[in-house]
Each structure stands twice: as structure tokens, then as C-alpha cells.
Amino acid sequence: MHFPAYRFPLTAFFATILAIVAQPANAQDAEAIAVRAGRTFRGLSSFKASFEQVIEDRMIGTQNSKGELTQEGNARLTMRFSDPKGDLVLLDGTSVWIYTPSTTPGQVIRMAIPTDPVYGPNVLSRILDKPTERYQVTWVREETVDGKPADVVEFVPTTEDPLFSKAVIWIDRGTALPRRLELDERTGVHRTLILSRLRTNVPTGRNEFVFQVPDGVRVVDR
């Protein structure tokens, strides 16, 4: 009996098998990770976290800020800054309010929240609402965040997205909640949002998503 003489070297064959076996299982499960994170995030009645934000812009350099984030559904969000103290981004369900007395005292910008989608600046909801329908999802690596394992997952829009060309989210393996977000925005800005002290399904104050215009502050509609 004669066996065919394969030219494919056995060493290359075994190397290929080893590469397949050694590949992290999560590299094959990017969509499952994203779907679980989306289902978990959508199921929350509220989401609160402390945040640190880093904005890297070629024109103005690097800006650092921090504060507290509260979210309730897709169209209600507050980012209350402790540094710069007093700055605020607020979505009340109808409008987006941007109040930055640290740079433009005496005025607040008010904009209508887009109706489709309704997320406005609420980027986490924008991504995690229907992650596998709107994005090409790729598992990047595993990292440890606050001593806990997290999957680093890349989201690239499958259609034109006015906000960003790529997003990377660190998703906690235990809770399926986002712990870090990096955005390559279409304006050329690279934005990083680091979340800590996550609290879910806790009551929000009745005025949490209401902007009270301070005395002497002018409302600028855009």
C-alpha cells in the first residue's frame, strides 16, 4: 500500500493545530460577549458610576476631567463634573444641556435629542442597544480592571456613524458591565472614559435629569 506523498510539512501541520487550540476561546465569542453586555445594560433601571475622562486632541492637547455619571434609559443621562467643578452635561429625555462655566460662563447650550437614534451623547447606550446589528464586533484581548478580568472588545460601525469610527469597551466578565470606553471620534479626538464605583438599579432623585437654569445664565439653542 502506498500513501500519497504530501508536501505539507508535518511541523507546519502541528503548528497550525497548536495555534487553533491555543487561541483564546473568547476570540471566538466576541458577539456573545457584546450581546450579553447589551442585554445586561438594557435591563438596568439605572446605572451610576464615578468617571475619569481623558480627551486627546491634536489641536488643543490633552484634557482631563472627572465626576459622577448617572443614566436611566437611553435618553436620560447626567455627567456632573467635580473637575472642572460645576460643569454639566444633561439629557432630560427631550433636550441635551451642556453647561460649562469653567470655559464659557454665563451661558448654557440646549439642543434637541435626535429622534433616530435617541441617544445623543449617550454613547454607551448607542453601542450596547443593538451591538451586533450596528457594529462589526472583534475580541481584542483580556485585561484586569480593579482586580477583575475583563474582555476588551472592539466595535466598528457597519454604517456611517456621525460620532465615532471605532469604539473599544472593557466589559467585566462577571457583571457584563462596561468598565472603560475608548472612542476614535470623527472629529479627530480620542476620548477615554474610565468607570469606577459602579452602582446599578438604585433610585435616582426626582431632579437628577432636570436642568435648572441658574440666574443670569443665557440659554443658547442649537
- Taking the model in full, what pTM does it have? 0.81
Task: For the chain, list the domains and their CATH numbers.
Answer: 27-215 (2.50.20.10)
**For the segment 31-75, what is each residue's pLDDT rounded down to a tens digit?**
999 999 999 998 999 999 999 999 999 888 899 999 999 999 878
**For the segment 75-87, what is each residue's pLDDT rounded down to a tens digit?**
889 999 999 999 9
**Half-sphere CA count of 11, side-chain side, radius 13 A:** 0
CA pair distance 82, 86, nearest whole angstrom:
6
Q: How far is CA 36 from CA 65, 131, 136, 137, 188, in A?
A: 30, 10, 16, 13, 30
Say which residue the cell 455627567 belongs to: 79
